[in-house]
Copies of this chain bind each other. A is one copy, B any other.
């Protein structure tokens, strides 16, 4: 059973930053920048692949470890940012999933992903 121990990881990341005197750089704004940068590094792996090729990136694929590492980078900055702004990650995710359930009723959303009715 995979769980993310948010408290322990955030404490570890806090110690990591403190030991390097990086707390001064970890303003929420800067962490939001770093998060976008890491999300883009993840996207870079996929940019020239088509959807079908991207579905082939499973354990054992030559790009899998690379994807895992970029996913970890995004998760690390997200944990750090949530810590700095005092957001309870688990509560925020549960609240948002509940809101999405209301916002996109299955019968209306079925097979239609253009949330802005752009098409």
The interface of chain A, by Cβ under 8 A from chain B, is: 1-7, 9, 12-13, 16, 19-22, 24-25, 27-30, 32-37, 39-55, 57-59, 62-64, 66-69, 71-76, 78-79, 81-82, 84-93, 95-97, 100-101, 104, 106, 109-111, 113-114, 118-119
Closest B residue to A18 by beta carbon equals B106
Given A29-B49, A50-B50, the answer on whether A4 and B37 have CB atoms closer than 8 Å is no
* In the A-B complex, the 6 residue pairs with the closest CB atoms: A40-B40, A29-B54, A27-B51, A72-B96, A4-B4, A48-B113
| A27 CA to B57 CA, complexed, in Å | 10
- Asked if B33 and A54 sit within 8 Å, CB to CB, the answer is no
- Asked if A119 and B62 sit within 8 Å, CB to CB, the answer is yes
